[in-house]
Amino acid sequence: MFSGKLGIIDLSKKKVNLTQTPESLKKLYFGGRGLNSYYLYNYIKPDIDPFSPENVLIFGTGFLTGTLVPNSSRFNVSAKSPETGILGDSNCGGYFAAEMRYAGFDRLVIKGKAKKPSYLYLTDNKIEIMDARDYWGLDTTDIQQALRNDLGHVEVACCGIAGENLVRFACVRTGVKNAAGRCGLGAVMGSKHLKAIAVRGTQGIQIKYPEEMLETVEQLKDYIMNSKITSILGSVGTPLLYEVSNTLGAIRTKNSQLNAWSERLNAEEIEKHVEKMISCSSCIVHCRHRNMLGGEGPEYTAVGLLGANLGIEDPAEVIELNNVCNELGLDISSSGTILAWAFELYEKGIIDNSLTGEELCFGDFQLAKKLLHKISRREGFGNILAESTKNIARFGEKSKDYLIAVKGLPQSDPHDCRYIKAFALGIATSSRGADHLRSRPTLEIFLKLPKEVKEKIYGKGIPNDPTSYISKEKTIYFSDNIFAVIDSLGVCKFICHGFNSPHFVDYTWMKKLVHCASAWDVSEKELEEVGKRVIDIERMFNNREGISRKDDTLPKRYFDEPMPLNLSKGHHIDRKEFDKLLTRYYKLRDWTNDGQVKKERVKELEAFT
Amino acid sequence: MKYLYVYPEKCTGCRECSIACSLTKFGECNPKKAAITIVRDEFYRYEFPIVCFQCEDPVCLKFCHQNAYHVIDGIVIRDEDKCIGCRLCATLCPYNAVTSIDDEIIKCDLCNGDPKCVKYCSTGAIQYLDETKELEKRRKDMAEKFLEINKS
């Protein structure tokens, strides 16, 4: 079958129900993030506590996941986020999702709460709820190896001890470092007493037109492999972005007090610690580093947020912090942002020893490492930091001015968004809070890209100047839509048109790939509609939780403090210009001026079941 | 004569080779139903492509009761009509290069001179090369290395 099963698991009742997502619904949302968001909107009642059994946790593979389509390794984990209280969703690579499809499953919807620690064991067309008491308390590598010892070569998605202890930014992990990192979904696993999902499948994904897929993929592979960016990503991975942002003066440094940091964290330095570059399932880019310190990574996010943002410049120390986060099951983006926030608050005297129990300062590797361990075990001050951005209530209203977060989600991108205005609009409007993987139009960084190239992608009237507010709503609108589609297809953003390259997989390529896999004829326009639908239903979820225009904003520092260093010196976000940009963005989305999805559209999307 | 040569140091573990093989032979994407297998373990830090070496004195041929195996132009070919699916070849192959799954026996036939695994590999970890002395030596080194691993 090309279409796999939908497994609905009620952990409270210990019941498993196998069903199927109707084809009509798949045509609207495809899979992955799209269908996950549809189910979240329909299955989660407003105002529930994310840690209650009423929260619904979804593991959804993409429409093309596990196929020959390059980089089709992805799945999304979604639930109401305990970190933000709004839509929680995180996309992840590795080998887990492909294996889920080989076992015959497209998606798992997990409800309720198990009485005792449990894990799910998926084999061909079968789901069992198993006892996980022996695995509770294990780090993420240990549990995965233990499950392989006990069950054979399974692929595993699990939470670490951070998830067990309900750290609000605990991640879901698979393999050595692949993570559905954002929004605290590992803590949702912990709250359900679900330690892991282990899967082993032997079934294939039936392809409608095998010859056509072989031919199309051969052409696509040549096209992608011939790009310079592919070979750079494949040799040094995402850390290449560090130097680009740093030269510009846009690397978040010491909680964005500064905007540039040491060249010791450039990709060529990181590379010295790398043993081999490896891939996720079906991936032809291979951007994953197997490092010499026993783990994988670091990505650009780790280099920025566990390096520059904490005032650390030794690559080996950054890699070690990266590995620690992965073992404990902590989201690196939130970890680096929350620690830096606390460090600055301590420096400024907003919090003191009576709360922290010790002196906090930037640049102290041992301190950072110790705090990560304490957070994961909720010990001492770690128990406070584990509450993430909710600490505004404890630290005081003044602390909010120094928090680099939107809608309660610490910013993932190490890029300081005061210079490139489109980036700022992107993190302000992203459906899960301050996040760059929803809509970042990376091309804005490439200052020398011809105007025609940008206009061809985003539409007429896009100025080449990244600091201009003019028409930037179009770049975010385009990116937000197409990234939602690629997330629904289960293909990595790294080969998505407009993410790292002005080329790669655009709607035309998607149309061909969907056709050879399923025989569905969809037009470019219809694919874009899928993206718009996903963005709208995610917004509907958030509107229902009280999100409106007032929440589509930026950290105070981005508005009020000009950047101090390098090319971007003096730049900040102008409140009035930003407000106008937001208005134009809503108009393009056809949302109300208050950022609400219009009633007719809500009605339309609610009618599809 | 051309054969497959593997370079594990270049293998990233992605399995496009296996998926392309299963798609070609069975019309489905299934890395476990392929004549090439990537053995990988991210925790033990290795990726290793296992291919049929097209042995000169093949065990699969030697022990087949049905005489289903033949060497044609240097390639060890399994005759599906003669095969009764006993899986002895898969069990005895010292390189575990004969795959057995779902009542199927899958044996590499080099895709009539156009091996799909090579075509879809993005790093050159599997290559289809003319047999030269140097490559031949490499091939044998690889086989010995693998036998050593197999023993432990």
* CA nearest to A277 within chain B: B12
CA-wise closest residue to B106 among B83, B72, B136: B83
* Confidence (pLDDT) at A362: 98
* CA nearest to B23 within chain A: A210
- For chain B, which residues lie within 8 Å of any Cβ of chain A, measuring from their own Cβ? 9, 12-16, 19-20, 22-24, 26-33, 41-43, 45, 47, 101-102, 116, 119-120, 122-123
The pairing of strands A75-80 and A87-92 is antiparallel
Distance from CA of A102 to the nearest CA of B (A): 7
- Cβ A210–B23 below 8 Å, yes or no? yes
Kindly report the number of other CB atoms within 10 A of residue B101's CB atom.
Answer: 16
Instruction: Say if residue A1's pLDDT is above 80.
Output: no
- Say which residue the tokens 């009761």 belong to: B65
- Does A280 touch chain B if contact means CB atoms closer than 8 Å? yes
Distant-in-sequence, close-in-space partners of A365: CB < 8 Å, separation ≥ 6: A312, A314, A317, A320, A321
Distance from CA of A37 to the nearest CA of B (A): 27
DSSP string, A468-483: --TTHHHHHHHHHHHH
- Lowest mean pLDDT across A161-170, A349-358, A462-471, B25-34: A462-471
* Confidence (pLDDT) at A11: 98
Per-residue confidence band for A428, with pLDDT thresholds at 50, 70 and 90:
very high
Kindly report the number of other CB atoms within 10 A of residue A401's CB atom.
Answer: 15
pLDDT average, residue stretch A245-252: 96
- Cβ B12–A277 below 8 Å, yes or no? yes
Per-residue confidence band for B131, with pLDDT thresholds at 50, 70 and 90:
confident
Instruction: Say if residue B147's pLDDT is above 90.
Output: no
Per-residue confidence band for A608, with pLDDT thresholds at 50, 70 and 90:
confident
| Higher-pLDDT residue of A46, B133 | A46
Distance from CA of B111 to the nearest CA of A (A): 14
The token pair at A198 is 């282990």
Please tell me whether residue A349 adopts helix, strand or coil conformation. coil
- Establish whether this prediction's ipTM goes over 0.90: yes
Q: What's the Rg (C-alpha) of chain B? A: 15
CA-wise closest residue to B43 among A174, A189, A103: A174
Helix extents (H) in A152-250: 161-164, 185-191, 210-225, 228-236, 240-248
CA-wise closest residue to A190 among A168, A220, A205: A168
- Cβ B14–A280 below 8 Å, yes or no? yes
CA-wise closest residue to A575 among A592, A589, A555: A555
* Confidence (pLDDT) at A371: 98
* Confidence (pLDDT) at A571: 98
Find residue A87's DSSP bridge partners.
A80
CA A316 to chain CA centroid, nearest Å: 25
- Cβ A284–B24 below 8 Å, yes or no? no
Point out the residue among A68, A102, A145 whose CB comes nearest to the CB of B16: A68
Q: How many residues comprise chain A?
A: 609
pLDDT average, residue stretch A530-536: 98
- Does A294 touch chain B if contact means CB atoms closer than 8 Å? no
A149-188 residues touching B, CB cutoff 8 A? 153, 175-176
pLDDT average, residue stretch A326-350: 98
- CA A15/CA A5 separation, integer angstroms: 16
Contacts of A213 in chain B (CB under 8 A): 23
Distance from CA of B126 to the nearest CA of A (A): 14
* Confidence (pLDDT) at B132: 83
- Does A513 touch chain B if contact means CB atoms closer than 8 Å? no
- Cβ A206–B15 below 8 Å, yes or no? no
The answer to whether A422 touches A475, Cβ cutoff 8 Å, is yes
| Higher-pLDDT residue of B152, A350 | A350
Instruction: Say if residue B103's pLDDT is above 90.
Output: no
- Count Cβ neighbours within 10 Å for each residue of A542-565 and write b for 16 or more, e otherwise: bbbbebebebbbbbebbeeeebeb
- CA A10/CA A56 separation, integer angstroms: 10
- Cβ A205–B30 below 8 Å, yes or no? yes
The mean of the pLDDT values for chain B is 93
The answer to whether A335 touches A167, Cβ cutoff 8 Å, is no
Per-residue confidence band for A482, with pLDDT thresholds at 50, 70 and 90:
very high
- Does A279 touch chain B if contact means CB atoms closer than 8 Å? yes
DSSP H or E run through A268: helix A267-271
Distant-in-sequence, close-in-space partners of B12: CB < 8 Å, separation ≥ 6: A276, A277, A278, A279, A283, A286, A288, B47, B122, B123, B125
pLDDT average, residue stretch B128-133: 85
- The CA-atom distances, in angstroms, between B44 and each of A144, A299, B11 are 12, 21, 15
Kindly report the number of other CB atoms within 10 A of residue B79's CB atom.
Answer: 12
Three-point CA angle B21, B27, B30, nearest 5°: 55
DSSP string, A516-540: HHH-----HHHHHHHHHHHHHHHHH
- Cβ A102–B122 below 8 Å, yes or no? no
- Does A145 touch chain B if contact means CB atoms closer than 8 Å? yes
* Confidence (pLDDT) at A303: 98
The mean of the pLDDT values for chain A is 97
Q: For the whole prediction, is pTM greater than 0.90?
A: yes
The amino acid present at B99, given as its one-letter code, is T
Instruction: Say if residue B48's pLDDT is above 70.
Output: yes
Mutate to test the interface with A, among B36, B42, B116, B120 (most CBs of A within 10 A): B42
Distance from CA of A252 to the nearest CA of B (A): 32
- Cβ A225–B122 below 8 Å, yes or no? yes
Contacts of A296 in chain B (CB under 8 A): 42
Point out the residue among A203, A204, A279 whose CB comes nearest to the CB of B13: A279
Mutate to test the interface with B, among A3, A154, A282, A492 (most CBs of B within 10 A): A282
- CA B7/CA A359 separation, integer angstroms: 52
Instruction: Say if residue A542's pLDDT is above 80.
Output: yes
- Cβ B33–A283 below 8 Å, yes or no? no
Please tell me whether residue B112 adopts helix, strand or coil conformation. helix
Point out the residue among B28, B122, B123 whose CB comes nearest to the CB of A204: B28
pLDDT digits (tens, 9 = 90+) for B79-91: 999 999 999 999 9
- CA A558/CA A573 separation, integer angstroms: 6
Instruction: Say if residue B27's pLDDT is above 90.
Output: yes
Per-residue confidence band for B1, with pLDDT thresholds at 50, 70 and 90:
confident
The token pair at A201 is 């499948």
The token pair at A384 is 């406070």
- Does A221 touch chain B if contact means CB atoms closer than 8 Å? yes
Distant-in-sequence, close-in-space partners of A579: CB < 8 Å, separation ≥ 6: none
CA-wise closest residue to A43 among A76, A9, A14: A9
Distance from CA of B36 to the nearest CA of A (A): 14
- CA A25/CA A7 separation, integer angstroms: 16
- Cβ A221–B122 below 8 Å, yes or no? yes
Distant-in-sequence, close-in-space partners of A225: CB < 8 Å, separation ≥ 6: A231, A284, B122
* Confidence (pLDDT) at A321: 98
- Say which residue the tokens 């020398």 belong to: A448
